[in-house]
């Protein structure tokens, strides 16, 4: 299985690769992509991957040539994006990141395995995923998901800490302060909404290890032969919640059945509209940036 990773010289990637190789034992080819000026660091990472000595790693390639490195990819993990710093919202990054994802969407749709599974992590993840889909002229609309598993894991952990353990926890909407946790108290939703910013405030940089763990959890569920139910941001076409059909929106999802229809309370229906509205505004900003010249 060929796994391509963008932003591969960054810190999420550094945490992700050993976790991924501990979890997935099938034959793997890694394609590490980053900017031209980071190619030296990628070479160092390649050396460390060789030194891990994981027998399932059949090949490692790295560089900045996206066409070559995405070619034939079965899985693509999009980490590469300008990260937010203290005091910023994730949506503030659209100006810098929309064009990158739009460009990469075309390349991915042109050269990757037509059945590729792509996960977008770089923020604003949902709108970046939409730009990836649009860049590829919607050819991969059902194969691109944005990472919501970090929010789901945060919600689950908050419920565990409050001794309200639940088997399944789902989050709806945007990976932003408008997200909400299904059937949870406002304290749990607030916790999830603020957690990313709290981590940035405390560490000076955004979550890396927990994001890496969430990516592996998400991929494992998505690729599982058994049915798995989890939160994922998906292309919203024909969703059963009446959400605008051209967004990448977090819904409860089954890797075998697609979007799951769960009952929403009146308050949840109102929160759904707020997070949908925010995503429509992000889409508008991204499209203005992309198509204004
Ligand atoms: C997170 O939720 O921790 C990441 O999306 C990073 C961020 O900017 O919050």
221 vs 254: CA distance, rounded Å = 9
196 lines ligand 1 (CB under 6 A): yes
CA dihedral 85, 89, 94, 95 (to 10 degrees): -70
Does residue 182 carry a catalytic annotation?
Answer: no
Asked whether the beta carbons of 177 and 256 are under 8 A apart, the reply is: no
Asked whether the beta carbons of 208 and 11 are under 8 A apart, the reply is: yes
57 vs 288: CA distance, rounded Å = 42
List per-residue pLDDT tens for the chain, 293 residues long. Answer: 999 999 999 999 999 999 999 999 999 999 999 999 999 999 999 999 999 999 999 999 999 999 999 999 999 999 999 888 888 888 888 988 999 999 999 999 999 999 999 999 999 999 999 999 999 999 999 999 999 999 999 999 998 888 788 889 999 999 999 999 999 999 999 999 999 999 999 999 999 999 999 999 999 999 999 999 999 999 999 999 999 999 999 999 999 999 999 999 999 999 999 999 999 999 999 999 888 75
103 vs 119: CA distance, rounded Å = 16
Q: How far is CA 153 from CA 98, 180, 212, 252, in A?
A: 27, 13, 12, 14
CATH number among 3.40.50.1100, 3.90.110.10, 3.40.640.10, 3.40.50.720, domain 149-291 = 3.90.110.10
Q: Hey, how many other C-beta atoms are within 10 angstroms of the C-beta on 266?
A: 7
CA of 74 to the centre of ligand 1 (A): 26
Position in ligand 1 atom list of the atom nearest CA 151? 2
Report the SS3 class of residue 214: helix
76 vs 92: CA distance, rounded Å = 24
124 lines ligand 1 (CB under 6 A): no
Where in the chain are the domains?
2-146, 149-291
- Say if domain 2-146 classifies as CATH 3.40.50.720: yes
Residue nearest to atom 3 of ligand 1 (CA): 196
Structure tokens at 242: 């009446």
Asked whether the beta carbons of 95 and 123 are under 8 A apart, the reply is: no
Sign of CA dihedral 102, 260, 264, 243: positive
User: Ligand 1: which of 83, 148, 196, 204 to mutate, judged by most atoms within 8 Å of the beta carbon?
Assistant: 196
> Which listed residue (149, 175, 182, 195) is catalytic?
175
Return the closest-CA partner of residue 127 out of 256, 228, 262, 278: 278
Beta-carbon contacts of residue 196 (< 8 Å; ≥ 6 apart): 90, 150, 206, 207
């Amino acid at each position: 299985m060929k796994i391509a990773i963008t932003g591969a010289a960054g810190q999420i990637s550094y945490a992700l690769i050993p976790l991924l190789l501990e979890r997935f034992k099938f034959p793997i080819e890694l394609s590490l992509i980053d900017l031209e000026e980071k190619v030296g660091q990628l070479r160092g990472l390649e050396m460390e991957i060789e030194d891990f000595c994981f027998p399932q790693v059949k090949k490692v390639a790295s560089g900045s040539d996206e066409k070559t490195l995405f070619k034939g990819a079965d899985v693509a993990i999009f980490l590469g994006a300008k990260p937010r710093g203290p005091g910023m919202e994730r949506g503030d990054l659209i100006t810098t990141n929309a064009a990158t994802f739009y460009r990469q969407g075309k390349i991915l749709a042109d050269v990757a395995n037509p059945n590729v599974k792509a996960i977008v992590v770089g923020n604003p993840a949902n709108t970046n995923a939409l730009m990836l889909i649009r860049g590829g002229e919607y050819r991969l609309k059902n194969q691109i998901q944005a990472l919501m598993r970090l929010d789901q894991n945060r919600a689950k952990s908050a419920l565990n800490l409050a001794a309200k353990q639940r088997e399944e926890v789902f989050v709806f909407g945007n990976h932003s302060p408008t997200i909400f946790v299904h059937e949870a108290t406002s304290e749990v939703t607030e916790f999830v909404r603020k957690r990313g910013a709290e981590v940035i405030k405390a560490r000076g940089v955004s979550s890396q290890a927990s994001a890496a763990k969430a990516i592996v959890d998400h991929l494992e569920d998505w690729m599982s032969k058994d049915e798995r139910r989890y939160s994922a941001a998906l292309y919203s076409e024909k969703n059963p919640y009446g959400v605008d059909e051209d967004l990448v929106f977090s819904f409860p999802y089954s890797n075998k059945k697609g979007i799951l229809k769960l009952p929403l309370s009146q308050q949840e229906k109102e929160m759904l509209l707020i997070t949908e509205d925010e995503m429509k505004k992000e889409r508008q900003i991204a499209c203005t940036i992309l198509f204004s010249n």
